[in-house]
Each structure stands twice: as structure tokens, then as C-alpha cells.
Amino acid sequence: MKAVNRLLLLWLCTLVQEWTSCMCEEVSSSPTSVNPCCYYPCQNRGICVRYGLDQYQCDCTRTGYYGENCTIPEFWSRVCEFVKPSPDTIHYILTHFYWIWSLINKTFLRDWLMYKVLTVRADLIPSPPTYNSKYGYLNWESYYNSSYYTRILPPVPLDCPTPMGTKGKMELPEPKLLVEKFLLRREFRPDPQGTNLMFAFFAQHFTHQFFKTHNRMGRGFTRGLGHGVDAGHIYGDNLARQLKLRLHKDGKMKYQMINGEMYPPTVLETNVSMNYHESVPPEKQMAIGQEVFGLLPGLSMYATLWLREHNRVCDILKKEHPTWGDEQLFQTTRLIIIGETIRIVIEDYVQHLSGYQLKLKFDPALLFNSQFQYQNRIALEFNQLYHWHPLMPNSFFIDGTEISYNDFMFNTSILTHYGVEKLVQAFSNQAAGQIGGAQNLPHIVAGVAEGIIKESRQLRLQPFNEYRKRFNLNPYRSFNEFTADKEIARELEELYGDIDAMEFYPGLLVEKTRPGAIFGESMVEMGAPFSLKGLLGNPICSPEYWKPSTFGGHTGFDIVNSATLKRLVCLNTKRCPYVSFHVPPPDYEHKNSGDSHAEL
């Protein structure tokens, strides 16, 4: 009996040991609790709030949806979902049916449709700002500290299983590999919309007044005091730089005369710091509001045009207001220049980019009866999105001469040798590249693209599909749906493992383009809200500012209200060249581009 008891006791001890060992293995092999917000469970702009270790709640307040994950539409949301056409359908309607739109553009419907375009787009951008790169939740610092770029979506939580949340591989592909495989140009592919280099340089020139990453502080910081169109690329982004560039007489900016024409002054004359290659002597370095604009003659050309326009407007205001001093003439002219810029961007630049048959209109009064907030903060995603380097060609053709990048960059003599008219003519005639559709990035900026991808990882941008959902687009279900190229789709799946792990910037450039368009659906649907909110959120567009007295009276107001790209060029050159954001049509006769100042 004692032997049986001993055997029974031994069996029990063994059983306990095996059970204990098994439990220990289970505990040691079980994964730590995953942050449930890493799954992005909250839909339709719901906010994920984590509780405990593995619990969450979705805040569906004012989303139009309810339920555990904000997926059940309320009545009016259900109605809107039923009747609202897809973004591609809306785009098709707006870009086709020329004869119908030519009639609509002459009626009150144009104003109503423009109002809808502005409000629907702008409502997608939160105001006041929400997140920044330090905080993934709302707090006072995100609102108050304007040295940060704001963010539309919070960063990917630090404790997620994979870099993009829970989907995809444990390690993302090397940026250099992504650029070489999917972004670098094999053969120059011109934009099918007919976009030219005049557009490409305008895009770069215009955006550098509000994209000013403060690298020394960190990639999520901006060193600009303003977060919108402030003409800081013309006047400098701080008062000290502005004062060095000003003539301090009659409101004008400093300048130099070369071959009887006005150009920006030299660095020697102004003592303004500029980023030139060391091989460029100081007497050849032009002093411009934005310190990097000596990089390309196309940027210096636009800087010259705006310098001439500023001083031209000063002369007009001086005649109208002989009692005004230098400061009032300068400040009022700056407001006029900002107004001209916004009008040109909406009615020329965005009009061309959109391809719409609806004739876009810059009229701030359209929004005066709506609850529109006149403030803006530049978003990190907007900064990432606007890297449109595929626009650049392989070389430049000016007055019958082909110029390589090595001879083009930092070469101010190109501007002064050929003159503004010949550069405008050349850039208006040369096609720019298609931005979307993959494999059209010039090799010379490969390092820039790698840096953008590295930056997005450092700042933990959410996956491309999460941004599509945020801007009311359906997420892609596969790489084959995302791109029309089956080989690219296969390689992307091999590298990322899951379409829901696709990164933001590569996604924008590789996504299949709309038929005959410069880029894909996502670039338009995400970029347009940022752009229109930033333009119409400018203080000069508010009811308090938008009146003749702000611009020195009706004469100054008329300058703003009549601004076009063609007027900017032709009122500041001796001869009016062909000027457009579109390459000339096949039947265009260059004799039509002669002396056309009378038409202005």
C-alpha cells in the first residue's frame, strides 16, 4: 500500500511539474499585449482611444457614424452614401462635356459650383490643427506651437508589431531599393495633360514660401513664421532679411540693372546669405527672398518677375498716394502681390492642374456667408505630397541650345544672358514629366526621394490606405488594383507583404494615373483640400481684409482682380512671349505671341 501511495504521489508531482512547465512555456511564448489602435479599428474619422493593455474605444462624435468602430451610418450619412458619386465619376464629369460647361461658366451656377468645390474640399482639413510629430493625441502644444508642421493623422504608435501598424513585414524595404525599382526614370515620359516647365518652376517657386523644414530642429519642424501664402519667398521669411532686401525708398526692393533690365541685387550689395555653390563668385550671386532660389535659373526667373512686379506696383501706388511713405507703400504692395499670387494659383495653376471644364474663380466673397476659418497650418503630409520632381526633364532647351543639369544648376548667367523673355518662351514650350505612374523621377534627385522616404519613417506616417480612407477614398484591396503594371505589383507585394503596409510617398508616385492625367486619384483628392484651404484661409480673403482700401483703393484692388500669369510676365518684359502652363497647341503660330501688351 505504501508503494502504491508513493507511486501515486510521484505521478501527481510529475503531473504538477509538467503542468507548471507547460504554463511557463505558454506565458513565455505568448506575445505581449498589442496596442489595439495599431489595427486602425476606428473608421470614418473616428478617434481610437486605448484603455488598459488591450482595450480601446472609438470616439465617433460628429462623424455621422456610430457603433463600436464608427462603421454604422446615421440617417443622413446613409443618404449621402447612396446619392454621392465616386471621386472618379465627379472628376470625369468635371473634365468632360465641354459644351455644357461652356454654358454653365456663363451663369450663376459657376459661382454656386465654385462655392461647393471650396467648401467640400476645405472641410476635409481640420481647423484648428490637430496633431504634430511629437503627440499622437490632441493637446495644447499641437495647437499653440506653430514651429511644428501639423498632421492630418497621428503617428503610428511606437509599440506596434510592424513599422506600419500590424500589417506587412517586420522591416520595410530599403529606401534606395524603392527609389531604384519604382521611382527612377527609365525614359522621359511627358505629362499627357501638356504641362510644361513654366508650371514646374512655378510649383517649386510658389511652394517654397510655406515648405521650410527646419532640419536642425528635426524633420517635423518648420522654420517659417507663416503657414501659408505670405510672399516670404520674395521678401524673406524674417524681418532682418526683408530689411536687407528693401531699397527703403518709395516702398521698393533693391535691384541691379543688366543690359537695361531689372534683376535681383547681388549678395555683395545686400549682405544677404544665399545657398550657392562655392564656385559662384559673390558678385554673380543674386540676393533673393528664398535662400535656395539661386539653385535653378527657372526659380531666379520667377524671382525676377515678382521683383519687377513689386516695384511696378509701387510706382502705381506712389502716383495714387503721393503722401504715403516708404513703409506704407511697401506693406500695401506686399498685400497686392499676395492677392495676385492667390489669383494666379487658383485661376491659372490649379485650373490647369485639375483639367476641369468648370472655370475656377478666385472670389473670397463666395465664402462670406459660411463658417469658414481664416487660418492655416501647413501639414507634414502636404509637404511630403508636394515633392513633384518627376516634372523635371533630363535636360533643358533654351533658344536652340540643350543645357545639361551640370551647366544649368547655380548658373545665374543663364538668366542674364538669355533674359526673362527667352526663358519664359523656352520653359513654356518644353514639356514637363508626368508625376504619377511610377518610374519617371530624374536620376539627379534620387537622393531627395530617398530622404523623403526616410523622413516619413522617422516621423511614422500611417500607411497609404489609411490616408485614402481619411480623404473619403476606398482603400486599395491589392497591389494589382493599386497599379496597372503587374510586374510592379508583384515586386511591391514581395517587398511590403501587404497593400495595407504601403507607404505614403511611394504610394502617391507609383499609383496608377487617371486616364490622360498628370497623376493618380489620391494626389488630387488629398492635395486639393490642402491647397484650397491654405489659399482661401489667407487673411486677405477674410471679410475684414477683402475690400479696396486694403490694397490702396480701387486701382490696387483692380491689380489683384485682373492678375494672370500672362499679365505677370508681359507687364514686366519688353516683349510678350508665349506664356502658359501648357505647351503650345499643335496649330499654334508663334506670330501670335508677338507684341500683345495692348491686350493686357
Residues 6+ away with beta carbon under 8 Å from 529? 121, 122, 123, 124, 125, 471
DSSP string, 149-200: -BBSSPPPPTT-SBTTBSSS-SSPPPHHHHIIIIIB-SS--B-TT-BBHHHH
Neighbouring CB atoms inside 10 A of 316's CB total 15
Torsions phi, psi for 334 (to 5 deg): -60, -40
Task: Report d(CA 228, CA 533) in Å as an integer.
Answer: 10
Q: Are 227 and 221 in contact (CB under 8 A)?
A: no
How many distinct helices (H) and strands (E) make up the chain? 25, 8
Task: Report d(CA 511, CA 270) in Å as an integer.
Answer: 46
Distance of CA 414 to the CA centre of its chain: 29
Give how far Cα 265 sits from Cα of 144, 243, 246, 502, Å: 37, 13, 10, 47
Q: What is the dihedral of CA 480, 486, 491, 495, to 10 degrees?
A: 0
| Closest to 567 in 3D by CA, of 381, 372, 341, 242 | 341
| Closest to 557 in 3D by CA, of 340, 315, 324, 314 | 340
Cα within 13 Å of Cα(137), Cβ side: 6
Residues 6+ away with beta carbon under 8 Å from 524? 87, 91, 354, 514, 517
The three three-digit cell numbers of residue 151, written as one number: 498632421
Catalytic residue positions? 208, 386
Task: Report d(CA 64, CA 51) in Å as an integer.
Answer: 24
| Closest to 332 in 3D by CA, of 345, 319, 313 | 313
Task: Report d(CA 124, CA 410) in Å as an integer.
Answer: 39
Task: Report d(CA 288, CA 292) in Å as an integer.
Answer: 8
Distance of CA 500 to the CA centre of its chain: 23
Task: Report d(CA 151, CA 132) in Å as an integer.
Answer: 5
Helix residue ranges, H only, 257-411: 267-270, 297-320, 326-344, 351-354, 380-385, 405-408
Angle subtended at Cα 173 by Cα 167 and Cα 177, rounded to the nearest 5 degrees: 150
For 40-70, what is the HEC assignment? CCCCCCCEEEEECCCEEEEECCCCCEECCCC
Angle subtended at Cα 397 by Cα 303 and Cα 298, rounded to the nearest 5 degrees: 10
Helix axes 197-207 and 297-320, enclosed angle (nearest 10): 70
Q: Strands, E, within 325-443: which ranges?
A: 396-398, 401-403
- The set of long-range contacts for 576-579, using a CB threshold of 8 Å and a minimum separation of 24, is 576/600, 577/421, 577/422, 577/424, 577/425, 577/428, 578/424, 578/425, 578/428, 578/429, 579/198, 579/424, 579/425, 579/428
